[in-house]
Amino acid sequence: MPRPILATIHTEALRHNLARVRSAAPDAKVWGVVKANAYGHGIERVFEGLRGADGFALLDLEEAQRVRALGWRGPILLLEGVFEARDLELCSRLNLWHVVHCSEQIDMLATHKTHQPHRVFLKMNSGMNRLGFAPQRFRAAWTRLNVLPQIDEISLMTHFSDADGPKGIAQQMQVFEEITRDLPGERSVGNSAASLRFGQDAAVRADWVRPGIAVYGSAPDYPEQDAGGWQLQPAMSLVSKIIGVQELAPGDSVGYGSSFTADAPARIGVVACGYADGYPRHCTTGTPVLVDGVRTRLVARVSMDMLTVDLTALPEAGLGSEVTLWGRAGSGALLSIDEIAAAAGTVGYELMCALAQRVPVVVD
């Protein structure tokens, strides 16, 4: 028998979350963001749940080929654009739309031979200072692109640094609007956080939103708001089983470094899941976990292949009991990946993306 660990991708949850983003940003076209192998879920595995999107956004050419191989004929957007001139050939061949964020990418386009002009998204750096043209250089870039025969249509985009936090998007929105006011073309500004929090603003939802994390069922602004509060459902569950039980006397300790010591008689379940499966080693005693759908706590250090949970208050639980590390238990009980991420000092994004290769995955 294989190790009893299994990740499940929930098609219905993906569909629900996509609809949820649509209701938060009504009438916006939606890029389903499937970069990083669909945030660790697997592009092929999420495709059915997300095929209702208007397009797919990603940044790896190999991933774009995989989306086309699934039969998707609609828009695909390369979020970082091309990395070298010959990538443009694949863009022509697969009809990929691409971001243009620097003048070198315009140079490449200017010498590219294509029968089919490209649709591009010209990106402004409105304050995040990652990719994009500075506001004062944006219009010159637009003018340069606009005269190229290689270009079909120019859309305008920017990305927010603080859509999930107290600073918000107002400042970047103002810069973007001011510079692009009289430019033609579709716009795209909102990630998950902006779509959920500010999607009622017509300028934020025009014309394409780009939700990633929300469609996978994690709250972009946790703990300010949780996934349930946003009415999002987990798209991934990580479930294993108890493969050993230890009865502890007061003073007994557990695991590497003896970081947990029982102060009363305790029952400990050993779970077939460790950091080599993608469960964060930074989680320590107290991190929530579901055993047979009932909430209890992780105790002691997470090791490579195992972790330990407190069964003292769960006398029915034992060998073979279901353990939900995150997502949905068999009973329907939920444990948000955001809670586990917070316990590890990180975000749900990182945990999803870090699901290990060795974990078998099924789609339901």
Ligand X SMILES: *Cc1c(COP(=O)(O)O)cnc(C)c1O
Q: Which of residues 63-82 bind ligand X (CB under 6 A)?
A: 79
Q: Which of 42, 127, 220, 255 binds ligand X (CB under 6 A)?
A: 220
| Closest distance of CB 251 from ligand X, Å | 46
Residues within window 118-147 making contact with ligand X, judged by CB under 6 A: none
3-state secondary structure the chain: CCCCCEEEECHHHHHHHHHHHHHHCCCCEEEEECHHHHHCCCHHHHHHHHCCCCEEEECCHHHHHHHHHCCCCCCEEECCCCCCCCHHHHHHHHCCEEEECCHHHHHHHHCCCCCCCEEEEEEECCCCCCCCECHHHHHHHHHHHHCCCCEEEEEEEECCCCCCCCCCCHHHHHHHHHHHCCCCCCEECCCHHHHHHHCCCHHHHCCEECCCHHHHCCCCCCCCCCCCCCCCCCCEEEEEEEEEEEEECCCCEECHHHCEECCCCEEEEEECCCHHHCCCCCCCCCCEEEECCEEEEEECCCCCCCEEEECCCCCCCCCCCEEEEEEECCCCCEECHHHHHHHCCCCHHHHHHCCCCCCCEEEC
Residues 16-35 that bind ligand X (CB under 6 A): 33, 35
Min dist CB 223 to ligand X, Å, is 16
11 versus 218: smaller Cβ distance to ligand X: 218
Binding to ligand X by residue 192, rule CB under 6 A?
yes
Residues noted as catalytic: 35, 256
Applying CB under 6 A, among 132, 212, 217, 288 the residue interacting with ligand X is 212
Q: Candidates 89-97, 110-118, 207-215, 323-331: pick the segment binding ligand X (CB under 6 A).
A: 207-215
| Residue among 38 and 193 whose Cβ is closer to ligand X | 193
Q: Which range of residues in 145-153, 209-217, 243-251, 314-322 is near ligand X by CB under 6 A?
A: 209-217
* Binding residue (CB under 6 A) for ligand X from 22, 41, 118, 210: 210
Nearer to ligand X among residue 33 and residue 325 (C-beta): 33
Segment near ligand X (CB under 6 A), from 88-96, 136-144, 189-197, 270-278? 189-197
Type of residue numbered 170: A
Beta carbon nearer to ligand X, 220 or 280: 220
Site string for ligand X, 142-161 (x = CB under 6 A): -----------------x--
**Which member of 172, 191, 287, 324 binds ligand X (CB under 6 A)?**
191
User: Per rule CB under 6 A, is residue 237 in the interface with ligand X?
Assistant: no
CB-closest chain residue to ligand X: 212
Residues engaged in binding ligand X (CB under 6 A): 33, 35, 79, 159, 191-193, 210-214, 220
